[in-house]
């Protein structure tokens, strides 16, 4: 049966600037892929990330180069030879999962052999600002189960202290986005313990991970930028206790599921994260969330307007998209 693929650039404005250590976003630029076969359609979304050398134009060019093979019948297992791990492959992979489930009259969860998505506690992110503004933002969500605070090098100590004072009860993830040095990690280690930080995410640049070997951290460390696919796991064992799986890094749900299994087998705890994206990027990631100790899928909550039928936040608990949105017929 004839199959067609369409890829386009979509832009979603943000309701507030999203500031992290390496810059600020005011919009989410995504690649949306639609694969049609007969009367059925599968959709997927990827977020090209400049940190990894990705752009919208490059992602669309990658997909265009693979379109003939995909329209001729190439499936998810063929994508590794057609596309590199990253946002472009993520969008195509998830679109094919969606289409496959609809063609089979089942769900992606059933095809993958995992539990159906369910409401789950997901981090509410406090973006970088003045300590006073971050405290005010934290106070508004002090009742949620889990907060994630973005920090930089210059103001990290004051930022963490301000958020914890305003929100004393939630579990807390601190994310410097590669902006610290090993000396700063050592200097701020007692502060992290004092403020009951539950997880420290990628404090050092990915290329400087070797400095963590043998570091006896009293706060669990999580690899983010240092982990993309299963090939990266071997170099992380003596440096991190957790790994953050993002579909835009793995190149889709197919590799993400395999990575989760491999990480657990090596003794890593799991975090599931996302870029700033729409609910179309979150729906596949929710299939991994049930087995993760930390879930950070609040990307759509930053949008001025999400795709209709997407996820809903209820006081820090994320409800899955409406039936039929992705991964199953309505």
Q: How do beta strands 221-223 and 199-201 pair?
A: parallel
Q: Among residues 59, 65, 71, 1, which one has the least CA distance to residue 34?
A: 71
Q: Among residues 257, 252, 225, 245, which one has the least CA distance to residue 294?
A: 245
Partner residues linked to 18 by β-bridges: 25
Tokens standing for 330? 């309505």
> On the CB side of 251, how many CA atoms lie within 13 Å of its CA?
22
**Spatial distance between the Cα atoms of 102 and 60, rounded to a whole number of angstroms:** 25
From 25, 148, 246, 249, active-site residue: 246
SS3 278: coil
Q: Is 246 a catalytic residue?
A: yes
SS3 256: helix
The owner of tokens 């993830």 is 173
Q: Is 249 a catalytic residue?
A: no
CA dihedral 31, 37, 40, 42 (to 10 degrees): -20
From 25, 148, 150, 249, active-site residue: 150
Residues annotated as part of the active site: 150, 246
């Amino acid at each position: 049966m004839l199959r067609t693929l369409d890829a386009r650039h979509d832009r979603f404005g943000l309701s507030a600037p999203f500031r992290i250590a390496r810059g600020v976003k005011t919009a989410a630029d995504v690649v949306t892929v639609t694969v049609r076969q007969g009367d059925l359609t599968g959709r997927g979304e990827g977020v090209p990330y400049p940190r990894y050398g990705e752009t919208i134009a490059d992602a669309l060019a990658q997909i265009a180069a693979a379109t003939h093979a995909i329209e001729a019948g190439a499936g998810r297992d063929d994508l590794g030879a057609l596309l590199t791990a990253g946002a472009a492959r993520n969008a195509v992979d998830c679109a094919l999962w969606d289409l496959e489930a609809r063609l089979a009259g089942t769900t992606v969860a059933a095809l993958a052999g995992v539990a159906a998505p369910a409401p789950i506690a997901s981090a509410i992110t406090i973006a970088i600002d003045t300590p006073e503004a971050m405290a005010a933002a934290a106070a508004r969500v002090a009742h949620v189960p889990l907060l994630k605070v973005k920090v930089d090098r210059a103001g990290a100590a004051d930022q963490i202290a301000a958020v914890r004072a305003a929100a004393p009860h939630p579990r807390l993830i601190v994310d410097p986005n590669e902006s610290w040095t090993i000396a700063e990690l050592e200097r701020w280690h007692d502060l992290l313990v004092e403020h009951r930080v539950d997880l420290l995410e990628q404090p050092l640049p990915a290329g400087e991970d070797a400095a963590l070997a043998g570091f006896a951290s009293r706060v669990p460390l999580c690899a983010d930028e240092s982990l993309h696919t299963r090939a990266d796991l071997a170099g992380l064992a003596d440096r991190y206790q957790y790994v953050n799986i993002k579909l835009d890094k793995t190149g889709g749900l197919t590799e993400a599921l395999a990575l989760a299994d491999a990480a657990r087998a090596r003794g890593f705890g799991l975090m599931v994260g996302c870029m700033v994206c729409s609910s179309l990027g979150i729906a596949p990631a929710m299939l991994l969330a049930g087995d993760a100790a930390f879930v950070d899928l609040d990307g759509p909550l930053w949008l001025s307007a999400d795709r209709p039928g997407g996820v809903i936040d209820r006081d820090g608990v994320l409800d899955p998209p409406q039936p039929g949105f992705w991964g199953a017929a309505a």
